[in-house]
Structure 1
Amino acid sequence: MKSAPGAAPDVLTLLAATNQSVRLDTATVAAPAFVAGLQAVAIRIAPPLVDVPADGVEFPFDWGADTPGTDRVELAPVVIDMQADSASNFGGYLMGELAAQPTDGGLSVSIPGGRHVRALTLTDLTSENIVFRNKQQLEAAGRRLTVSVRDPRGGWAAPTMSVPAVARRGAIPPTLTGASLADGVLRLPDLTGPIRIAIVGGDTPEEFSPKALTVGTVIGWAAPTPVDLTLTGPDGATLWNFPGALPDGTRQAPDVTVAVSAAVEALRTAGKPITGSLALHSKFPCKVRFAVTSVQGDLIRELAGTTTVELAGEPVALPLVRPLPPGRPGAAIADVKVTYRGKRLADISDPLPPPGPHRGVVVRSDRVLRALPPQALRGEHVSRIGLVGYCPQPTALLVRVVPAAATAKSAADLAPIGTPGTAMVDAAAATGVIWVDLPEPIHVDQPVAIEVSAGTGTLFWVADPDPLIRVVVLDPDPGRRPIVLGAVTLLTVDEPAISVARASLPTAPFADTTPLLASALFCTVEISDGQLRYPRGA
């Protein structure tokens, strides 16, 4: 006897792969942690100190090649954590030699581009034939080095600091502090230019009198102050910026998820690799405490609308508009509704034989019997009988339920139990289940056998070793029988109607193939508003 080429999976084989009891649960999101009745509070840690060079610093992400079959991107929150940090131990960025001009009894030093200056290296700073390189030399000569900045109203403001500082006077604390001079390097508290330096006599600002001074060269060292700090996305669009200089003490935590998501979605839509970077730029090289959460999330395949599958004793592929994305999803979520129709495959039903040559019996006009165990079908109401095999030509079949004591010769003289079923079967070359409906359900209250004959044509009835059958019975109770998705139990049915919103489905059946739904139960399965989520970037 021939085998079925490319035979489809068998419902009973799929059901035999699992005996789990599964109840669908609604997909949930983890709740905040609680400890001893109090909600746990996260300790906010300062982000790392980041060097931002002239060409910026990048925060790359790589989701790999585009994944066909997805519909959109959904990102986890992308949040910046930015905090100003003066990096006080950093000496400064070399600016080179700065222009210095005599002005108003001092020396005006130009600072290019609006940068903040942290230090000036003053070579051969000379006044009254004395070269000053440190605070001690100034104190020994009774002189001070003062620093002034521009007055917004015009001209130079009064000195804001001096080396040495003005000493305490009674209850008045030291003033004009913040600068130091050592080894010819004047350290400053990150001033904007231009600035004026002067050598003066006197112990208080009221007594200050400028002295002539000269300097060989002035070398500038810029502060690491961020200016016009900007974060751009993979498409070059600005995600966030802070115009101007970043003041000390500034801390921000903006959410840039929407803009980053739009850029990642554009890559997906274009079919390009989903790779790129977020880039942090400053007008000048700088240091800033900065972190941004990694670009991670899910590629989403929508199973939109409602997909209805009628299960009637055979596996059914889940109808899909287009192929699924490659790989196994990280999560599958959908609304699921199951309605049991009051019918099922009887437990006596046989699985289909494996592919390959099959043995069996040839049924023509002579009756062929399949005897059943004495308790098989006892108390059941049989509505449909399936014969495993095929008819090589059009065939008229007669199927009767007869007492178990019947033989091929005696069955003709025995009255059938209930009304026989008939079917006209088209010619076929592949082994399958040939269903014969009974005119009315048969209540079985004794040991029985299944009798088959052909009025015309031929049935090749597969046997292993007995001829193989399927039997459908009426049963109002689903009996906690499973519905499987692929080879994984989707749920066990313990009541006639089950409905679960946003159920978490098994994911393995969606890996690289269209999943099959199967059950011994005759039921309607409705899967609505489904989502397959393929995690990326974690």
Structure 2
Amino acid sequence: MKPKGPGERLRRKGAPGIAHALAEEIEVVPLDPGVTYVIDWAPISGATGVEVDSASMQLTGVVSERALGEVTAAAEDPGYAIKIPGALRRVRRLALRGLQWNERDVTTFPYRPEDRPDLTDLRLVVSVPDANGTLIPRFAIPPVARTDFIPEQLGGATYEGGILTLPDELTSKVVLSIVNGRHAGEFSKQPMKLAGADVTLAEYPTAVAILGPNGDPIWSQPGELVGTVSIDLKAAIQGALKACVARGEAPRVELELLGASGQVRATAPHVRGKLVRVFSGVVRAKVRGEPVALELPGAPLDAETPASAAADVSVRYLGLRLLPEASDPLPPASQAVGGAIVRETPVTRPLAGVAGRSLGAVGLVGRAPEKCELSVWPTDAARAASRAPDAAVAAALSAPGVARLEPDRRVEVTWIDMPERVLADGVALAARANQGRFFWAAGAGALLARVAVRDADPGSRPLLVDGAPVLKMHDPSAPTLQQSALPLPTGAFAGAPPTLESELFLTVDFGDITLRYAR
């Protein structure tokens, strides 16, 4: 049996007398001692559930033959009886000895004696007892032909070369008679003799069952297994796999196929489904102009890429958006960064592209080497450039935005909310440390800053998950957008949490993030 899905292993435990390799799609299984199949799914980190889409196997009874040897015939109305030793048995063949009609040996039917042209419808009739012991004609050779409104009757048996072949008739006795007549109601007994028969039985597998992990039967066939059965194992396997996951164990199930006697031709269980990981509740992320990793609770994400990922998503637009044309790119993490040390004396840099706009937030690129209170404000660029003390303060165009920072060795963006004020041309950005120091990073000869402006219209700008757009904000009058069971890019959940990014400042709530891993 080949693997049934990514990460799935399906194998069979060895049993005495069993030597078939599981690589065979169909194998013949002796029911005593039977065989154990193992459904062994590769686990995933943090699994919370199991979904089995289909789980089935097919069994076909393997019929064997058993020779009973010679059985003597005894006269019994309407002919001669062959009694089968023991209980009800399935009779497949009888090699008749000494079958005669009117003192003539008969080895084949249809039979037409040349000297009796009046006997045009001689037949060999096979009768068996019903549950009450009443003899019932079951077969006629040849069968009774079809008429206008009645189909062919008593078909299914043959007699050729002295061999009577039945369709594995379940009976304790076979009574043979030779009759003449076109229809059953016209049959008339003919003189006959029968010495006996060599009887061959058909034996089917009996008491076939499939046992679950605790040895409890999940399917059984009382008596004989005749023909082919398809067995739905979905509920049993799903329940067993769920129990494994609930206990924190690898998803593994053993099924035992056995019986009282005989053999079956079996297909190993075909199991298809998914391991599920659900992050119950709400996971919130604040997107403020920079990529942000979604903070997922619990065990780390599995390295395997899920087959599907979805969540109920609520996105609230905060009325701010990044202004790319006024924002500097961040320096590579591996690059050595220089810049300016911001203390009590204001440090300024030009701020272009903001005319006619209201600053919403300003992001300074850098870090605080110690506890720091940082003030940032827009100022008149020309007046701030004078050598007068505190010129940048005197030329301020609005009250400052203030941020309190903890010491950090990482160079990153510190966003500071700004008072509402529509700006004109000729604006600079000023910053000073009211307490401590701030290292303001520079790139390409200029101090680095990011700029967000107030804008009621989200402008159909997308929310990206690991670079893939998952939804867009369209309606200025509806700052909150909600979608149920929103599909998310599956690769974003392989080995590490996804990264969210947007030009819009957003609060994003992910409800019941659900990852499904194919098995």
SS in 1 for 2:236: helix
Which residue does the alignment assign to 1:515?
498
Change in 2 beyond 3 A, CA 1:268/1:134: farther
Structure 2 contact 27–267 (Cα < 8 Å) conserved: no
Q: Which segment drifts farther, 126-135 or 328-337?
A: 126-135
Structure 1 contact 318–517 (Cα < 8 Å) conserved: no
Provide the C-alpha distance between the structure 2 equivalents of 1:66 and 1:490, rounded to a whole number of angstroms.
29
Structure 2 contact 128–175 (Cα < 8 Å) conserved: no
Q: Does 1:264 align with 2:230?
A: no
Change in 2 beyond 3 A, CA 1:193/1:74: same
Which residue does the alignment assign to 2:126?
147
- The code of the aligned residue for 1:118 comes to R
SS in 1 for 2:447: coil
Shift of the alpha carbon at 1:293? 9.4
Change in 2 beyond 3 A, CA 1:210/1:176: farther
Shift of the alpha carbon at 1:502? 2.3
Structure 1 contact 368–408 (Cα < 8 Å) conserved: no
Change in 2 beyond 3 A, CA 1:396/1:490: same
Which residue does the alignment assign to 2:287?
311
- The code of the aligned residue for 2:195 comes to L
| Aligned counterpart in structure 1 of residue 486 of structure 2, from 503, 508, 512 | 503
Shift of the alpha carbon at 1:391? 3.0
SS in 2 for 1:261: helix
- The code of the aligned residue for 1:108 comes to I
Structure 1 contact 370–467 (Cα < 8 Å) conserved: yes
Shift of the alpha carbon at 1:253? 8.3
Structure 1 contact 138–144 (Cα < 8 Å) conserved: no
| Aligned counterpart in structure 2 of residue 207 of structure 1, from 186, 189, 194 | 189
Structure 1 contact 398–455 (Cα < 8 Å) conserved: yes
1:232-281 deviation line (CA, Å, top 9, x unaligned)? 66766545556556899xx9988654334223333444524546569597
SS in 2 for 1:441: coil
Provide the C-alpha distance between the structure 2 equivalents of 1:443 and 1:151, rounded to a whole number of angstroms.
102
Shift of the alpha carbon at 1:359? 2.1
- The code of the aligned residue for 1:504 comes to P
Please provide the CA RMSD for this pair. 4.7
The answer for unaligned runs of 5 or more in structure 1 is 1-49
Which residue does the alignment assign to 2:472?
492
Q: Which structure carries more relative contact order (alpha carbon 8 Å, separation 6+)?
A: 1
Structure 1 contact 132–138 (Cα < 8 Å) conserved: no
Provide the C-alpha distance between the structure 2 equivalents of 1:298 and 1:366, rounded to a whole number of angstroms.
62
- The code of the aligned residue for 2:53 comes to A
Shift of the alpha carbon at 1:189? 3.4
Q: Does 1:407 align with 2:407?
A: no
Provide the C-alpha distance between the structure 1 equivalents of 2:407 and 2:58, rounded to a whole number of angstroms.
72
Q: How does 1:213-292 map to 2 (within 5 A)?
A: 213-215=195-197, 218-222=198-202, 237-240=216-219, 257-269=234-246, 271-274=249-252
Q: Does 1:295 align with 2:271?
A: yes
- The code of the aligned residue for 1:520 comes to E
Which residue does the alignment assign to 1:55?
31
Structure 1 contact 268–274 (Cα < 8 Å) conserved: no
The answer for unaligned runs of 5 or more in structure 2 is 1-25, 117-121
Which residue does the alignment assign to 1:47?
none
Identity among equivalent positions (%) equals 28
| Aligned counterpart in structure 2 of residue 478 of structure 1, from 449, 454, 458 | 458
Change in 2 beyond 3 A, CA 1:489/1:281: farther
Change in 2 beyond 3 A, CA 1:419/1:488: same
Shift of the alpha carbon at 1:75? 2.3
Change in 2 beyond 3 A, CA 1:116/1:383: same
Structure 2 contact 99–193 (Cα < 8 Å) conserved: no
Shift of the alpha carbon at 1:188? 1.4
1:307-362 deviation line (CA, Å, top 9, x unaligned)? 33333445252332333344122222222111112223333233332223212233
- The code of the aligned residue for 1:300 comes to V
Provide the C-alpha distance between the structure 2 equivalents of 1:239 and 1:139, rounded to a whole number of angstroms.
59
- The code of the aligned residue for 1:330 comes to A
SS in 2 for 1:259: helix
With normalisation by structure 2, the TM-score equals: 0.72
| Aligned counterpart in structure 1 of residue 74 of structure 2, from 103, 114, 124 | 103
Structure 2 contact 440–448 (Cα < 8 Å) conserved: yes
Structure 1 contact 61–294 (Cα < 8 Å) conserved: no
Which residue does the alignment assign to 2:53?
76
Q: Which segment drifts farther, 330-339 or 251-260?
A: 251-260
Provide the C-alpha distance between the structure 1 equivalents of 2:110 and 2:518, rounded to a whole number of angstroms.
65
Structure 2 contact 37–268 (Cα < 8 Å) conserved: no
Change in 2 beyond 3 A, CA 1:62/1:101: same
| Aligned counterpart in structure 1 of residue 301 of structure 2, from 320, 324, 327 | 324
Shift of the alpha carbon at 1:186? 1.2
SS in 2 for 1:463: strand
Shift of the alpha carbon at 1:368? 2.9
Provide the C-alpha distance between the structure 2 equivalents of 1:276 and 1:330, rounded to a whole number of angstroms.
25
Q: Which segment drifts farther, 406-415 or 321-330?
A: 406-415
Which residue does the alignment assign to 2:359?
382
- The code of the aligned residue for 1:120 comes to L
With normalisation by structure 1, the TM-score equals: 0.70
Provide the C-alpha distance between the structure 2 equivalents of 1:490 and 1:480, rounded to a whole number of angstroms.
12
Q: How many residues are paired up?
A: 468
Q: Does 1:118 align with 2:100?
A: no
1:202-242 deviation line (CA, Å, top 9, x unaligned)? 88854344535145xx2414277x87676666766545556
Structure 1 contact 396–454 (Cα < 8 Å) conserved: yes
Q: How does 1:23-38 map to 2 (within 5 A)?
A: none
Q: How does 1:354-373 map to 2 (within 5 A)?
A: 354-356=332-334, 357-373=336-352
Structure 1 contact 201–210 (Cα < 8 Å) conserved: no
Provide the C-alpha distance between the structure 2 equivalents of 1:62 and 1:254, rounded to a whole number of angstroms.
16
Provide the C-alpha distance between the structure 2 equivalents of 1:398 and 1:285, rounded to a whole number of angstroms.
85
Q: Does 1:336 align with 2:313?
A: yes
SS in 1 for 2:501: strand
Shift of the alpha carbon at 1:447? 2.4
Change in 2 beyond 3 A, CA 1:411/1:237: farther
| Aligned counterpart in structure 2 of residue 469 of structure 1, from 441, 449, 452 | 449
Which residue does the alignment assign to 1:452?
431
Provide the C-alpha distance between the structure 2 equivalents of 1:423 and 1:164, rounded to a whole number of angstroms.
104
Change in 2 beyond 3 A, CA 1:98/1:212: closer
Which residue does the alignment assign to 2:65?
94
Q: Which segment drifts farther, 315-324 or 65-74?
A: 315-324
1:7-33 deviation line (CA, Å, top 9, x unaligned)? xxxxxxxxxxxxxxxxxxxxxxxxxxx
Change in 2 beyond 3 A, CA 1:409/1:425: farther
Provide the C-alpha distance between the structure 2 equivalents of 1:177 and 1:369, rounded to a whole number of angstroms.
106
Higher strand share: 2
Shift of the alpha carbon at 1:380? 1.9
Change in 2 beyond 3 A, CA 1:511/1:132: same
Provide the C-alpha distance between the structure 1 equivalents of 2:157 and 2:434, rounded to a whole number of angstroms.
114
Structure 2 contact 89–201 (Cα < 8 Å) conserved: no
Which residue does the alignment assign to 2:173?
195
Structure 1 contact 99–110 (Cα < 8 Å) conserved: no
Structure 2 contact 343–436 (Cα < 8 Å) conserved: yes
Q: Does 1:532 align with 2:515?
A: yes
Shift of the alpha carbon at 1:159? 5.4
Change in 2 beyond 3 A, CA 1:214/1:508: closer
Change in 2 beyond 3 A, CA 1:201/1:509: closer
